[in-house]
Amino acid sequence: MNYFDEKKETMPREELKRLQSERLIETVKKVYENVPTYRAKMDKINLKPEDIKSIDDIVKLPFTEKYDLRNNYPFGMFAVPQSKIVRLHASSGTTGKLTVVGYTKKDIEVWSECCARSLAMTGATNESTVHIAYGYGLFTGGLGMHYGSETLGATAVPVSSGNTARQLMLMKDFGADTLCCTPSYAIYLAEELEKGGENIADYKLKRGVFGAEPWSESMRNQIEHKLKIKAYNIYGLSEISGPGVACECEAQDGMHIFDDYFYPEIVDTDSLQPVSYGMEGELVFTTLAKEGIPLIRYRTRDITTLSLKPCACGRTSIKMGRVFGRSDDMLIIRGVNVFPSQIEAAMLTCEGIEPHYQIIVSRVDNLDTLELQVELSEKVFSDEVKKIEELRMKIQSAIQSGIGVSCKIKLVAPGTMPRSEGKAKRIVDNRNLRD
Amino acid sequence: MFVNQIAVFLENSKGRLKECASVISNAGVDVVSMSIADTKDFGILRAITRDNAKAMKALKEAGFIVSSNDLIGALVEDRPGGLTEVLSTLDTAGIGIEYMYSFANIDAQNALILLKVDNEQLAIKVLKESGAKLVENKII
């Protein structure tokens, strides 16, 4: 078996539990002392740091939600002074503001270690060349896997996203054996490769580590078939660290959560009570060694299952299944987190547009497509096609710059969008992630 | 010199044009000329009817988006070159045409063209100077 750190990765559960308990106690103390939001949350339920004596006490702690980060934008949830923060990353927020996270030097080390473990888990070694086609920037995908690859001792190719023809050339010329990108981009690469008359046999690719968006087993089969590789699922979110919160091993049977650093729980989406392993629920994480922005029982909104079934690879960690959906209305479009509220806000910056709309998400040839159907109003109607097209382009570019993802705009007649007494049905997601 | 038209937004779906036509006919209004501008996703019906106000009211009540505006109406001699003369006049003056459609058989000698241009005042001026015959609603 190919481990990055065999001792940590195969630690007996009992020993791991002691470590988790120690780390939780320390983390709770730290946030109580340094993060006013946590002090307030705990004081409100009369909980003192001393009440947390082991990992089992975690259920006593309050949850953390995305809005806690938004309300404390940008740095209010940080538990260390700015002088200790060496890097910032950010992901989409539900409004115009981003969700910001900060890392200390040690946070970067732990994150890199987790990404290195992830790569090693899929068979990559220091002999590997890792082609990283995730975006580099505020998005954690690119830099996370980059540092992971370097920590593993492999050769990182920081190609970032875009320019597919160049990507294929570099992948072939540099002899990458490991590809990191979103699963939909992997499919796209495979198709472009075929279109360009290239033969996959001329590439040295052996494995792909794909994440940042939910995907299905049928998509895995397609990728493996087209690229002649093993395709592995990696999971992460910037609030917890970035990619490398969990990753599949060569057994391809669920993702190992690095639960010495990130403690997972699965809860009922309504009652927020823990559900037993094997049942579907919302995934909740507590960071156990994070310094910059430790989070207690952070609601990921991702719906999945957990399992403690022993794994063929010998790793002892808890495993999580594929993400089947969300308990909020966040959409992941080609790896980018998008909230309908962001689309609405961008759309309404165009004068004369009313909030009667529906968002249609589909997966066409394995690529996510986003369509906004919005009612045209008399105020902005014109007898000239040109003016209506201008309006359509204006909405399109407002949304593109607001969410960073292109969106097709379809203008429809008034009264055609569904209205309801309570919450209108704004999203139609036609993607199937369960097969 | 102006002819009033109505414009109707039509979603690109089967039967939509028929629905629109039914609404106008059910209101007892006769359509005298029309054109449709179409794109991939939607179309715009432009029409001149015997009673635009009545047609508009009926369409609005039926949930259509409707607007009305004036077009320049010009008589064009029904012979080769008749249309070219009018268009040359506009072109020489640097006037762009947004769209136009025609109305045949207004009388034995002429056709009527309906124009939407980017500079209405100038267009009227140069057309008048060129001796073109401009028409108004009442002629129709």
- What does the DSSP assignment read for B91-131? HHTTPPEEEEEEE--SSSSEEEEEEEES-HHHHHHHHHHTT
| CB atoms A415 and B98 under 8 Å | no
| CB atoms A383 and B7 under 8 Å | yes
pLDDT value at position A355?
A: 82
Average pLDDT over residues B64-82: 92
What residues does each domain of chain A span? Answer: 6-328, 333-429
Task: Answer for the pair A38, A47: CB distance below 8 angstroms, yes or no.
Answer: no
Cα separations (Å) of A131 from A111, A178, A182, A231? Answer: 19, 6, 12, 14
- The one-letter amino acid at A294: P
| CB atoms B9 and A383 under 8 Å | no
Of A174, A173, A248, A176, which is closest to residue A205 (Cα–Cα)?
Answer: A176
Q: Which residues of A touch B63 (CB under 8 A)?
A: 413-415
Residue A275 — pLDDT band, cuts 50, 70, 90?
very high
Question: Could you tell me whether strands A230-237 and A207-210 are parallel, antiparallel, or unpaired per DSSP bridges?
Answer: parallel
Q: Which stretch of DSSP H or E encloses residue B22?
A: helix B16-26
Residue A214 — pLDDT band, cuts 50, 70, 90?
confident
Which region among A180-184, A246-250, A296-300 has the lowest average model confidence (pLDDT)? A180-184
- What does the DSSP assignment read for A79-126? -S-GGGEEEEEEE--SSSSPEEEEEEHHHHHHHHHHHHHHHHHTT--T
Of A66, A62, A30, which is closest to residue A239 (Cα–Cα)?
Answer: A66
- What does the DSSP assignment read for A173-222? HTT-SEEEE-HHHHHHHHHHHHHTT--GGGS---EEEE-SS---HHHHHH
Rounded distance between C-alpha atoms, residue A10 and residue A8, angstroms? 6
Of A234, A416, A378, which is closest to residue B66 (Cα–Cα)?
Answer: A378
Q: Which of A378, A384, A411 sits opposite B98 (nearest CB)?
A: A384
- The one-letter amino acid at A213: E
Task: Answer for the pair A100, A88: CB distance below 8 angstroms, yes or no.
Answer: yes
Chain B: nearest CA to A200, how far in angstroms? 38
Residue A218 — pLDDT band, cuts 50, 70, 90?
confident
Q: Which residues of A touch B7 (CB under 8 A)?
A: 381-383
Residue A294 DSSP class: -
Chain B: nearest CA to A381, how far in angstroms? 7
Residue A62 DSSP class: P
Average pLDDT over residues A304-316: 96
Chain B: nearest CA to A311, how far in angstroms? 52
Rounded distance between C-alpha atoms, residue A134 and residue A143, angstroms? 8
CATH topology for A6-328?
Rossmann fold (3.40.50)
Task: Answer for the pair A414, A381: CB distance below 8 angstroms, yes or no.
Answer: no
Which region among A11-20, A98-107, A180-189 has the lowest average model confidence (pLDDT)? A180-189
Whether the pLDDT of residue B40 is over 90: the answer is no
Taking one residue from A and the other from B, the number of pairs with CB-CB distance under 8 angstroms is 48
Q: What is the ipTM of this complex?
A: 0.85
**Topology match between the domains B2-69 and B70-139:** yes
Residue B65 — pLDDT band, cuts 50, 70, 90?
very high
| CB atoms A413 and B65 under 8 Å | yes
Tell me: domain B70-139, CATH 3.90.550.10, correct?
no
Of A242, A249, A257, which is closest to residue A107 (Cα–Cα)?
Answer: A242
Selecting from 3.30.300.30, 3.40.250.10, 3.40.1350.10, 3.40.50.300, what CATH number does the domain A333-429 have? Answer: 3.30.300.30
Computed from CA positions of residues A280, A329, A78, A140, in that sequence, does the dihedral angle turn out positive or negative?
Answer: positive
CA angle A87, A92, A96 (to 5 degrees): 110
pLDDT digits 0-9 by tens, A408-428: 999 998 888 877 555 567 889
Of A244, A258, A252, which is closest to residue A223 (Cα–Cα)?
Answer: A252
Give the nearest chain B residue to A415 (CA atoms). Answer: B63
Task: Answer for the pair A303, A327: CB distance below 8 angstroms, yes or no.
Answer: yes
Q: Which residues contact A243 (CB under 8 A, 6 or more apart)?
A: A115, A118, A134, A140, A141, A144, A145, A148, A211, A212, A234, A235, A236
Token pair listed for A365? 């040839």
Computed from CA positions of residues A202, A213, A397, B42, in that sequence, does the dihedral angle turn out positive or negative?
Answer: positive
Cα separations (Å) of A39 from A34, A36, A56, A291? Answer: 8, 5, 20, 16
pLDDT value at position B140?
A: 60
What residues does each domain of chain B span? Answer: 2-69, 70-139
A348-379 per-residue burial string, b: 16 or more CB within 10 A, e: under 16: eebeebeebbbbbbebeebebbbebbbbbeee
Whether the pLDDT of residue A324 is over 90: the answer is no
What is the percent of chain A with per-residue pLDDT over 70, rounded to a whole number?
98
SS (H, E, C) A308-355: CCCCCCCCCCCEECCCCEECCCCEEECCEEECHHHHHHHHHCCCCCCC
Q: What is the CATH number of domain B2-69?
A: 3.30.2130.10
Token pair listed for A260? 């010495």
Rounded distance between C-alpha atoms, residue A9 and residue A3, angstroms? 7
Beta bridge partners of A256: A247, A319
Residue B105 — pLDDT band, cuts 50, 70, 90?
low
Residue A404: phi and psi, rounded to 5, are 80, 15
Computed from CA positions of residues A126, A131, A136, A142, in that sequence, does the dihedral angle turn out positive or negative?
Answer: negative
Asked if the C-beta of A401 comes within 8 angstroms of chain B's C-beta atoms, the answer is no
pLDDT value at position B57?
A: 96
**Topology match between the domains A6-328 and A333-429:** no
| CB atoms B11 and A416 under 8 Å | yes
Rounded distance between C-alpha atoms, residue A366 and residue A192, angstroms? 13
Q: Which stretch of DSSP H or E encloses residue B3?
A: strand B2-11
Token pair listed for B124? 């009227």
Asked if the C-beta of A380 comes within 8 angstroms of chain B's C-beta atoms, the answer is no
Stronger pLDDT, A126 or A420, i.e. the higher one: A126
pLDDT digits 0-9 by tens, A1-25: 799 999 999 999 999 999 999 999 9
Of B75, B24, B17, which is closest to residue B43 (Cα–Cα)?
Answer: B17
Task: Answer for the pair A331, A407: CB distance below 8 angstroms, yes or no.
Answer: no
CA dihedral A249→A255→A260→A262, nearest 10 degrees, is 150
Chain B: nearest CA to A98, how far in angstroms? 34
- The one-letter amino acid at A272: L
